A and B are shown apart, each in its own frame.
Chain A
Amino acid sequence: MFVGAVFFPLLGATLAGFFGRWLGDKVSQWITVACMVLAAICGVSAFAQVAMGHAPTTVPIVTWMDVGSLEFSWALRYDTLSVMMVAMVTCISTLIHLYSVGYMSHDATIPRFFAYLSLFTFMMLMLVTADNLVQLFFGWEGVGLASYLLIGYWYERESANRAAMKAFIVNRVGDLFFTLGVALTFWTFGTVEFPAIFAAVPQHANDTFMGIRSLELIGVLLFLGACGKSAQIGLHVWLPDAMEGPTPVSALIHAATMVTAGVFLMARMSPLMEYAPVALTVVTIVGATTALFAATIGCVQNDIKRVIAYSTCSQLGYMFFAVGVGAYQGAVFHLFTHAFFKALLFLGAGSVIHAMSDEQDIRRMGGIWTKIPVTYAVMWIGSLALAGVPFFAGYYSKDFVLEAAYAAHSGAGMYAFACGIVAAFLTAFYSWRLIILTFHGTPRADHHTMEHVHESPLVMLIPLLLLAAGAILTGYLFAPLFIGHHWQEFWNGAIVNGEHNHIMHAAHETPEWVGLLPTVVGVAGIALAYALYMFFPEVPGRLARSFRGLYLFLLNKWYFDELYDAIFVRPTRRLAMFLWKVGDARIIDGVPNGAAALSVDASRGLVRLQSGRVASYAFAMLIGLVILVSLFLIGRIR
């Protein structure tokens, strides 16, 4: 069961990937789906046993490396944190596999798609069940690879290739810090295995490295790694572009699972992070800033998937600042509910795109809600959950996260609370802007497209409906477990709060208005969206014209891409050319006066080489030997 949950997807990926050509499209796609169903069954029963039955366990597989004192193994660690992730990942991945059967039915290389998707799931499961930092890194890079392959799935498109490369390289920037963090962890603790690290944290609490507390430095380095994977401000630039991939990929990788790996890492390292208050403050500020920043951009984007992508980025910010104030449980809970409603939103968007003959620009949609009522309904449910409207999933988690930020009673916490509230308003606003522009109003698509608007097939609707159920129920059902009064019993030590960290308790004790405010601003955001786009549709255009600078600033995503292009990409290219043409060709090859002399030699040698008898070279070697022996004898006589 424990092994099956992780390795069934690998089996599916291998079969579809290597034998897809012989198995055919139909067989290979259903094999991967079947493997995923088996994995999900294993995952859910593991959840029942480990989390509900309070029986954490570790399944060792085999030693990976053992070099000096650096020793770690391949192993599957099942505690509440990882088993909750395993259950969530396998279930959502199964639904998305199923959805893809419908969505990708016209694709040319179906086995390849499913192989990648299953490979991704396997890597994600390796990541969450890792027992040491290096195996976590294996999964971390593995999901990066799968994400790269899937973003660039339609490899004939230049834009897809560019986005795929960008995603991989930006992630690598984070990975560099991750690797250094692992190195420092090893030299601090003498191990990279979680149980040993966590046990030794208190005794290394005051170690310093180059004048900085080691634990703070480890915390910051790992957080920088997390920033890459989880698209936090500065390293977020790859996420919107990643929408070049097929929509099921965006739902699975760039919303529900992979991008939350950074949050998972922080929660996993909670015993260490608890001793690194400065690092946590950094996490809070970066997370809060991302939450707000991404929400502002989301308000003006016109690509349906990009709006949702920025929304993901923003929600990840919420999770990070929850981590920053010490409410890891809240962060993981938001991660959990977010996975359902965000996957739902993406798949819903996919259904819209499918219906609109691959149109993604919401300015060319509208007036289709009667034609695709199920999609319309699930988009509403997803948006309600995202906006944190009471009794939908997001309400429980987002409220808790904001309450925790408020309850932290620190400067950073208040900053996060303020950012979070504004972002909550904007979230509700752009969600309904999206719904209204997409579904309501007069049809803006051409006649031909409108004729073809149709509801998706059943194989796509079933996952949508199941995810919709998740988006409604997961908050209500799981809030008592994740963040309720018995959270300690549920988490069972998988997440550690320091002895002075009472945030889990304090978050329940905040004033009434703190709990109400997110709902109020959420409703206000919805109202504003209705006002601007439903009732006075000419206002947004006028606003954009009168605040043209701000509008362009947001539309161009705060000019991050342009900035990076100017300070990293272009100078690097120029430097590369300079080093090659000048450094290597002129200076290094020029100094020994080599080039000229060599070519003279070479032309003379040419004649001899053409005669090319091996014997003559053996003879040359013999001469060398003679010289050598004579040198010897000379030395000896002395």
Chain B
Amino acid sequence: MNAAGFPLLSLLTFLPLAGAVFIMSVRGDDATVAANARWTALWTSLLVFALSLILWFRFDTSTADFQFVEQIDWLPEFGVGYHMGVDGMSVLFVLLSTLLTPLCILASWESVQTRVRDYMIAFLVLETMMVGMFCALDFILFYIFFEAVLIPMFLIIGVWGGPRRVYAAFKFFLYTLLGSVLMLLAILAIWYRFGTTDIPTLFAQPALPTSWQAWIFFAFLASFAVKVPMWPVHTWLPDAHVEAPTAGSVILAGVLLKMGGYGFLRFSLPLLPNASAEFAPLIFALSVIAVVYTSLVALAQEDMKKLIAYSSVAHMGIVTIGLFTFNQQGLAGSIFQMLSHGVVSGALFLCVGVLYDRVHSREIARYGGVAKIMPSYALVFMLFTMASIGLPGTAGFVGEFLVIVGAWHASPWLAFGAALGMILGACYMLWLYRRVIFGRITRDDLRALLDLSPREYAVFAPLILLTLWMGVYPQSFLSFFEVSVAALIQRHEAALSLPRLAGIAP
């Protein structure tokens, strides 16, 4: 079963934790500890990334089955096991997480100067939780990782964040926790019904009675919608982004937002086919509102990070539209959109971070004319701006286009709503770019700014490469999840065509 020959996924998951333990054990004066922590964190995360590349090369794209599977009994009498594995829908998210973590550590190299050791520990723990979550094939295991992600993120915002960090951290924590409680109940219900929490086993079961499905669907929705975030439970996100340190924002936008979309994909759609079909119009409505509403709000922002945070909500609206179209284009587009958004919005937050590190302000009006003094930076920022707008040839286009095509099949008005994001996206991103990068330099202190440093080039280079690669030859990514998506749709259609049993427990 396991193509690597050794428990690769567990290694990927727990290696960062081992790194964190090592950092904890370092003793010495502050400077030594900080330097050791940085280098250990960097090397650990790079090693994890290198190992995760095995997934890229050895993953069999011709099957929808789970691969690299590891299974150990944990609580056999409760049907709970330690079960890890990836399929086409999750494997690239694992890679996204392992790629972004070293970049984040590199990006925080100089900007984080206080409690460096704790910071690096938090990031490594975060990586463990993220990778574990995407690999988990047991509901309880998934839940543990899903929840545990909150803790390091909460700390990163709360300790290393901006002036209103405590407010933002608590808002973030409470919003996401409230949703999760309902998900826990849903998991218990499922376990009660089937006596197991093993995900592949659950997939093999006949679908739940319709009345159950509706309740469980909403319980999941409560949890995932907050994470995505969908309108109207999105307001924690701008606050969290604004206060989080740059690297925190990158992970938040790059990976944590995908947890919601991944949750829908992994659980809601396959386990609750009838409810998903029934409530799709609700999701569509919320998503279109998200696209239009948050794009408009983004237009009014005066804080760079807040603007990009709102744009994330709009982009994730495209994702949720695609997920519930139940056709190949929509679903594949939506997964692709999540991946590309992970890269592009992560990169945009890094772009903001570059200026913030130099000037210590996120206020748009504080800038202007940056192109004159930082031409390379302006070029990089332009590339990611265009990717965010969805220019063909960049990563942003592929997902958006596929979702619009898929959405048209569900309803042309839905496609129209999704496509409105194309115009509004151009409005707020170009408006941001124009005010920050173009224009005349009006502030004297801006004249002394230095262009990108070699370290910053090293952070951006992989993201630039990936953005163009995903745009020009998306096939190397699309092929990973093509079969899995097709299998999901097939199962969905089969489930819908079955006559429904009355909603009673056996």
- Of B118, B144, B392, chain A has the most CB atoms within 10 Å of the CB of B392
Question: Size of chain A's interface in residues, with CB distance under 8 A?
Answer: 73
Asked if A169 contacts B439 (CB within 8 A), the reply is no
Known A145-B386, A165-B434; contact A64-B473, beta-carbon cutoff 8 A: yes
Segment from A229-237, A374-382, A614-622 that makes contact with B: A614-622
Asked if B293 contacts A636 (CB within 8 A), the reply is no
Asked if B297 contacts A156 (CB within 8 A), the reply is no
Residues of B within 8 A of A169 (CB): 423, 426-427, 430
Contact of A576 among B300, B409, B420 (CB under 8 A): B300
Which residue from chain A places its CB closest to the CB of B473 in the assembled complex? A62
Residues of B within 8 A of A602 (CB): 166-167, 169-170
Asked if B151 contacts A176 (CB within 8 A), the reply is no
* A506 within 8 Å of B (CB atoms): no
Asked if A579 contacts B423 (CB within 8 A), the reply is no
* B475 within 8 Å of A (CB atoms): yes
Asked if A588 contacts B235 (CB within 8 A), the reply is yes
- Compute how far the CA of A232 lies from the CA of B397 in the bound complex, rounded to whole angstroms: 26
- Of A172, A573, A594, chain B has the most CB atoms within 10 Å of the CB of A172
- Compute how far the CA of A588 lies from the CA of B154 in the bound complex, rounded to whole angstroms: 22
A126-162 vs B, Cβ < 8 Å mask (1 yes, 0 no): 0000000010011001100100100010011010010
Contact of B404 among A165, A180, A577, A606 (CB under 8 A): A180
At the interface, is chain B mostly helix, strand, loop or mixed?
A: helix
Residues of B within 8 A of A635 (CB): 188, 191-192
Contact of B329 among A67, A145, A598, A605 (CB under 8 A): A67
B110-124 vs A, Cβ < 8 Å mask (1 yes, 0 no): 000001001001100
A389-433 vs B, Cβ < 8 Å mask (1 yes, 0 no): 000000000000000000000000000000000000000000000
Asked if B408 contacts A67 (CB within 8 A), the reply is no
Known A142-B392, A609-B158; contact A66-B408, beta-carbon cutoff 8 A: no
Interface residues on B, range: 35 or more
Which residue from chain B places its CB closest to the CB of A631 in the assembled complex? B188
Asked if B393 contacts A138 (CB within 8 A), the reply is yes
- Compute how far the CA of A216 lies from the CA of B425 in the bound complex, rounded to whole angstroms: 29
Segment from B275-283, B411-419, B491-499 that makes contact with A: B411-419
A174-198 vs B, Cβ < 8 Å mask (1 yes, 0 no): 0110011011101100000000000
Which residues in window 134-162 of B have CB below 8 A to A?
A: 140, 143-144, 147-148, 151, 154-155, 158-159
- Compute how far the CA of A155 lies from the CA of B407 in the bound complex, rounded to whole angstroms: 38
* A583 within 8 Å of B (CB atoms): yes
Asked if A65 contacts B398 (CB within 8 A), the reply is yes
Known A187-B408, A187-B409, A621-B151; contact A580-B401, beta-carbon cutoff 8 A: no
* Nearest CB in chain B: distance from A320 CB, A: 23
- Compute how far the CA of A182 lies from the CA of B407 in the bound complex, rounded to whole angstroms: 12
* A466 within 8 Å of B (CB atoms): no
Which residues in window 58-75 of A have CB below 8 A to B?
A: 62-70, 74
Asked if A172 contacts B405 (CB within 8 A), the reply is no
* B171 within 8 Å of A (CB atoms): yes
- Compute how far the CA of A628 lies from the CA of B393 in the bound complex, rounded to whole angstroms: 47
Asked if B166 contacts A612 (CB within 8 A), the reply is no
* A575 within 8 Å of B (CB atoms): yes
Residues of B within 8 A of A49 (CB): none
Contact of A165 among B327, B408, B430 (CB under 8 A): B430
Asked if B167 contacts A64 (CB within 8 A), the reply is no
B421-452 vs A, Cβ < 8 Å mask (1 yes, 0 no): 01100110011001001111000000000000
Residues of A within 8 A of B300 (CB): 573, 576-577, 579-581
* Nearest CB in chain B: distance from A476 CB, A: 39
* A584 within 8 Å of B (CB atoms): yes
Known A179-B422, A583-B293; contact A68-B188, beta-carbon cutoff 8 A: no
Asked if A180 contacts B118 (CB within 8 A), the reply is no
* A168 within 8 Å of B (CB atoms): yes
Asked if B478 contacts A65 (CB within 8 A), the reply is yes
* Nearest CB in chain B: distance from A358 CB, A: 18
Residues of B within 8 A of A601 (CB): 170, 174
- Compute how far the CA of A156 lies from the CA of B166 in the bound complex, rounded to whole angstroms: 40
Contact of B78 among A67, A606, A632 (CB under 8 A): A632
- Compute how far the CA of A631 lies from the CA of B185 in the bound complex, rounded to whole angstroms: 9
Contact of B475 among A66, A164, A175, A580 (CB under 8 A): A66
Contact of B155 among A179, A575, A588, A612 (CB under 8 A): A612
Asked if A580 contacts B301 (CB within 8 A), the reply is yes
* Nearest CB in chain B: distance from A182 CB, A: 7
Asked if B293 contacts A579 (CB within 8 A), the reply is yes
Contact of B144 among A67, A173, A625 (CB under 8 A): A625
- Compute how far the CA of A621 lies from the CA of B122 in the bound complex, rounded to whole angstroms: 14
- Compute how far the CA of A572 lies from the CA of B298 in the bound complex, rounded to whole angstroms: 12
- Compute how far the CA of A599 lies from the CA of B439 in the bound complex, rounded to whole angstroms: 39
* Besides A134-B392, A176-B420, A183-B408, 17 new A-B residue pairs in contact (Cβ under 8 A), listed by A number: A63-B475, A65-B474, A65-B475, A145-B386, A176-B416, A180-B419, A580-B297, A584-B235, A598-B171, A601-B174, A603-B166, A605-B166, A614-B121, A618-B151, A621-B151, A632-B188, A635-B191
Name B residues whose Cβ lies closer than 8 Å to a Cβ of A.
Answer: 78, 80, 115, 118, 121-122, 140, 143-144, 147-148, 151, 154-155, 158-159, 166-167, 169-171, 174, 184, 188, 191-192, 232, 234-235, 293, 296-297, 299-301, 327-329, 332-333, 369, 371-372, 386, 391-393, 397-398, 401-402, 404-405, 407-409, 412, 415-416, 419-420, 422-423, 426-427, 430-431, 434, 437-440, 472-475, 478-479, 482, 486
Sample 20 A-B pairs with CB under 8 A, ordered by A number: A63-B475, A64-B473, A68-B332, A141-B391, A145-B386, A155-B438, A161-B438, A165-B430, A165-B431, A165-B434, A168-B430, A579-B297, A584-B235, A598-B170, A603-B166, A609-B159, A614-B155, A618-B151, A620-B151, A628-B144
Lowest 6 A-B CB distances belong to which pairs?
A68-B328, A183-B408, A138-B392, A576-B300, A155-B438, A576-B296
